[in-house]
Amino acid sequence: MRAYFCVGVAAAFTLAGMNAGEAFDKAKLDTFLTTNACKYCDLSDADLSGRDLRGADLENAKLGAANLSGANLSELPMEKRIQRTNLESANLRGANMADANLANAAMARAYLREADLTGANLSRTDLSQADLRDADLTGATLDGAKLEDVKFCKTIMPDGEENDSGCQAS
């Protein structure tokens, strides 16, 4: 009976077109790549490395363990205005954003715990109230970034020093 159950579960994943290791819905990913918007959607574990995602709207999106290394998430210049990339309140826990361009992005209240932001461009990025515990910012650029009420604990700062200013005493 157990063998039939396992075969049934494997068949269900195959029929659904999902890989058991994927946490995101491929259709949502395809829609995001077409529209550049994915509010409240789940793109956990998605590989978005090296993509041009300027001006993307990912407000409240789940991007835990997503690979955004080398992605361009900076603002998108438009004819009469500039569209900022919106990652406000997004869950980016454990996301790989090494060398990503996040200049001028809206990332207030973003959950960036354990995120890899090594070499990332965070110039003029709003990180107000973001959670950067256990994040690695080695070599990142923070020129003009808003850092009000950011949670730092075991955070590796751009200069390689550890920032424990937000750790609570046990």
3-class secondary structure, 132? coil
- The domain segmentation of the chain, as residue ranges, is 1-163
Q: What is the pLDDT of residues 56-78, one digit of tens each?
A: 999 999 999 999 999 999 998 88
pLDDT at position 109 = 97
Q: Give the per-residue pLDDT at 19.
A: 44
DSSP assignment of 63-115, as one string? -TT-B-TT-B-S-EE-SSSEE--B-TT-B-TT-B-TT-B-TT-B-TT-B-TT-
| pTM: predicted TM-score of the whole model, two decimal places | 0.81
How far apart CA 151 and CA 148 sit, in angstroms, is 9
CATH-assigned architecture of domain 1-163: 3 Solenoid (2.160)
Q: pLDDT digit string (tens) for 76-121?
A: 888 888 889 999 999 999 999 999 999 999 999 999 999 999 999 9
Pair of tokens at residue 166: 């937000």
| pLDDT greater than 50 at residue 14 | no
Residues 53 and 19: their CA atoms lie apart, in Å, by 24
Q: To 10 degrees, the CA torsion angle through 1, 17, 94, 49?
A: 150
CB neighbours of residue 3 within 10 Å: 7
pLDDT(22) > 80: no
Task: Give residue 145's pLDDT.
Answer: 98
User: What's the CA gap between 29 and 45, in Å, rounded?
Assistant: 11
d(CA 85, CA 106): 6
Residue at token pair 């700062």: 157
